[in-house]
Structure 1
């Protein structure tokens, strides 16, 4: 049995009798839909080529001209006791063999909603393709232009200002792209590039849609909160410290002093462990040299740091996200010597562990075959076994000393990586702060509706099934997910298994 679905706008309650225009289409294999968009007016004729005259609307008295013979796709709708009823339906099929469903909808709520076209929200919902088709038709109909665009953004002067701002943003973005070979190594440079892309996205959205979408509005509110909070925090920091560059040097001095004391402790008898004295002394002096070298660099470059810090202060007025980016770069600058020592310790530990594993296979008479990607049996000569036994013994007795340095500086590396990952996620949360969308969700605004609520209005045996549909909002979390700004990508998830595997094998831990 074929189903005929008729969508009736509730604006017809206040209309006088007249012709109806809309769209007719086969939405599914055995479902034909009639989308009535409104009453036809000559001075307000639809420019959409898909729209056509598909019926007549009347009150209780049915005029004779509405009963003119039509071969197919002609609907006559009446209104009695504030309820729509179907006078006549002409199509190229036998009406008695068809199931007819009338759905009453509100045009404005469907047009206001910006999330009704998300596929995931309609999963498991009856007539989901019809609702998606209705939303697309309403958003493409030029006769409903006044519903879909903002009066302010339709203003020519406003569009001109937005176009100029978009041109400036694109020029700045191109300049930043030219310097990307240097800026890509700094968190601040990458965040500045993302900020300019977001500004260009906001301006392009305003020009293209002629209105302020929910996504753009939420990003603008989040940016305003970000900038205001950043300015307040910056003034507070300036009030408690007179020289920010000196504060950086003092912090670096504390870090260097702490590392020196830590190395002196490891070079002694840490936790009562008896390490290899010569190897321990060599590693300790080698790492102390790097720490002293990095501290000398910070002291010598103090004038340059002061100039750089003043530039950072001006950029910090752009918001907390910029300050978090600056803090991430300063963290990398202060802890650069920790990273270098960690790389040395990790590579040395990985080399020893790999050597011990390979030599252990030698004792078992086996060898790793890289061509086949497996371990095969192998015969070794006495000389090879002697050298392997000697090397295995040396590496095994040196491993505790290397492992102690690896544990200490890997722990420091994990702290630095954790702080960097925390700052990355703080920036993401500040850029996507759902203040505006949460207010709309609490107020049950129609602009955030992403699914529909259907109620039965009439279900009699001799008349078509009449339903009333109303767009409603989904859960708060799903609504927030719909409002994520497009240029801002979420930070990658932490792969804990790979991280633990790298820690055990001595591979490097990268920022998360």
Structure 2
């Protein structure tokens, strides 16, 4: 005999005569009867799985499924029909109807609590959504869908324009953030149009966007109130950075920490880099009158939130430090050529040579002239390497600092888009929406004598609630490969 489970809502009242709404699921050795409505249905309904009356009817419930049940409205006794024989032994579970109806499916972990409760939660919520949609105003629903389709049309147009300007997305943090925001809005609108309900994930996105907008307005008000102080702070900071670099280069052009460097080569590199820093200072002084205009540019993304302001600040930092990036490229290329040349010439001493056709290092017999020229070149490059490395190290540190600053701004934008304010508030007030842990309690039901188990949903931990409701549509931040960074710094590759 197979195991029989019967799931009855705790709000179900036995007494009136009527039919039971639900469905039957059959697994290998299990038959489950789910009553998904605490109200009785008319006899013509297609989702009837049983009857509640004083005597069992003599006909089956459905042609497609011969399994059905009967509840005696006098004493609450349950009988199951349609199996191999009449079944009087079963496992009756009373479940918390409101908790299963209001719980968001994204917080319900079916892997830990089985398919029975997952199926029950899916059907109960689907039935309630259909019932709410039927009782809703059709005119309001039509207006809602019309507005959603109109906004989707605008998002699609902007999306195609940004796709056409791929180079702008690749080099501009503001354009990339706008592109990702449009994708997120499209996903939210499509989900709302399909489900016509605000889930926890959608609620997280909407509330985070509102918070992002408010933080942007607060920062904008703070900056505009102290406009002169802010501009003076930016100019003083930029000038102090330039002066620090000049002092550092002058220090390197001498005898830093007692190192005996190649004087002519050191003087040439120092003068070359000082010239570019002077160009950078002239560029910043020439664009300083535009700093006030750039400050007012914050008003435009300020209408969209703090995340857009962070993206614009990232673009402004990249633009204002372009000359420093050029110096870094010069130093890196020069250092990389020396390192690769030294590695290649080192193979000369051990009789090895790189084979570009087979992409491997093979043995090779060098001539005396090749050995002499290779040894001479290796010696020159080796003695010039400390001087090159000093300048390369300085601008590599500066480059890593700018990359770290850009990463902080990127993570700030990412957190503002995914900050789980909505779920956190629901978790604090213990809302049924964030419940997903099934709890079985031994509890007798007065109406149904054979019912001894009561199933309810417990609130998940805050961390689990946040992880289960994070938006999946947003682009995640790629992890930093420290191995790649270390290899690039050592071998002189661009970061």
Indicate if the aligned counterparts of 2:60 and 2:68 stay in contact, CA closer than 8 A: no
The corresponding residue for 1:123 is: 111
Shift of 1:243: 8.5
The corresponding residue for 1:336 is: 322
Indicate if the aligned counterparts of 1:111 and 1:147 stay in contact, CA closer than 8 A: no
Q: Please give the secondary structure, in 2, of the residue aligned with 1:263.
A: helix
The corresponding residue for 1:13 is: 13
In the alignment, the residues of structure 2 paired with residue 406 and residue 392 of structure 1 have an alpha-carbon distance, to the nearest angstrom, of 20
1:76 aligns with 2:70: yes
Indicate if the aligned counterparts of 1:244 and 1:309 stay in contact, CA closer than 8 A: no
1:239 aligns with 2:225: yes
Shift of 1:404: 0.6
Q: Please give the secondary structure, in 1, of the residue aligned with 2:36.
A: strand
| Alignment: residue pair count | 488
Q: How does 1:446-485 map to 2 (within 5 A)?
A: 446-457=432-443, 466-485=452-471
- Give me the CA root mean square deviation: 3.2
The corresponding residue for 2:124 is: 138
Q: Please give the secondary structure, in 2, of the residue aligned with 1:184.
A: helix
Shift of 1:424: 0.8
In the alignment, the residues of structure 2 paired with residue 185 and residue 324 of structure 1 have an alpha-carbon distance, to the nearest angstrom, of 15
The corresponding residue for 1:35 is: 34
Q: Please give the secondary structure, in 2, of the residue aligned with 1:13.
A: coil
Deviations 1:326-382 (A, max 9, x none): 111122122222222222222222221222222222111122344555433222111
Shift of 1:284: 1.7
Indicate if the aligned counterparts of 1:153 and 1:159 stay in contact, CA closer than 8 A: no
User: Please, which of 44, 52, 59 is the counterpart of residue 47 of structure 2?
Assistant: 52
Shift of 1:394: 0.7
The corresponding residue for 1:506 is: 492
The corresponding residue for 1:407 is: 393
Indicate if the aligned counterparts of 1:198 and 1:488 stay in contact, CA closer than 8 A: yes
In the alignment, the residues of structure 1 paired with residue 469 and residue 403 of structure 2 have an alpha-carbon distance, to the nearest angstrom, of 29
Indicate if the aligned counterparts of 1:149 and 1:209 stay in contact, CA closer than 8 A: no
The corresponding residue for 2:377 is: 391
Shift of 1:466: 4.2
Distance 1:303 1:170, change over 3 A: farther
Q: Please give the secondary structure, in 2, of the residue aligned with 1:41.
A: coil
The corresponding residue for 2:96 is: 106
Deviations 1:295-342 (A, max 9, x none): 333444456665454333321232211111111112212222222222
User: Please, which of 265, 275, 291 is the counterpart of residue 277 of structure 2?
Assistant: 291
> With structure 1 as the length reference, what TM-score do the two structures score?
0.85
Indicate if the aligned counterparts of 1:234 and 1:317 stay in contact, CA closer than 8 A: no
Indicate if the aligned counterparts of 1:454 and 1:467 stay in contact, CA closer than 8 A: yes
Q: Any unmatched runs of 5+ in structure 2?
A: none
In the alignment, the residues of structure 2 paired with residue 194 and residue 360 of structure 1 have an alpha-carbon distance, to the nearest angstrom, of 48
> With structure 2 as the length reference, what TM-score do the two structures score?
0.88
- Which piece of structure 1 moves more, 404-413 or 214-223? 214-223
Distance 1:93 1:278, change over 3 A: farther
Indicate if the aligned counterparts of 1:152 and 1:158 stay in contact, CA closer than 8 A: no
Indicate if the aligned counterparts of 1:99 and 1:464 stay in contact, CA closer than 8 A: no
Q: How does 1:275-354 map to 2 (within 5 A)?
A: 275-301=261-287, 306-354=292-340
Deviations 1:272-314 (A, max 9, x none): 2221111112222222232233333344445666545433332
Q: How does 1:241-256 map to 2 (within 5 A)?
A: 241-242=227-228, 248-256=234-242
Shift of 1:99: 7.1
Indicate if the aligned counterparts of 1:113 and 1:449 stay in contact, CA closer than 8 A: yes
Q: Any unmatched runs of 5+ in structure 1?
A: none
In the alignment, the residues of structure 1 paired with residue 17 and residue 455 of structure 2 have an alpha-carbon distance, to the nearest angstrom, of 24
In the alignment, the residues of structure 2 paired with residue 476 and residue 104 of structure 1 have an alpha-carbon distance, to the nearest angstrom, of 27
The corresponding residue for 2:354 is: 368
Q: Please give the secondary structure, in 1, of the residue aligned with 2:183.
A: helix
In the alignment, the residues of structure 1 paired with residue 389 and residue 89 of structure 2 have an alpha-carbon distance, to the nearest angstrom, of 77
In the alignment, the residues of structure 2 paired with residue 431 and residue 153 of structure 1 have an alpha-carbon distance, to the nearest angstrom, of 33
In the alignment, the residues of structure 2 paired with residue 294 and residue 327 of structure 1 have an alpha-carbon distance, to the nearest angstrom, of 19
In the alignment, the residues of structure 2 paired with residue 235 and residue 11 of structure 1 have an alpha-carbon distance, to the nearest angstrom, of 53
- Which piece of structure 1 moves more, 242-251 or 443-452? 242-251
Work out which structure has the larger RCO, using CA pairs closer than 8 Å and 6 or more positions apart in sequence: 2
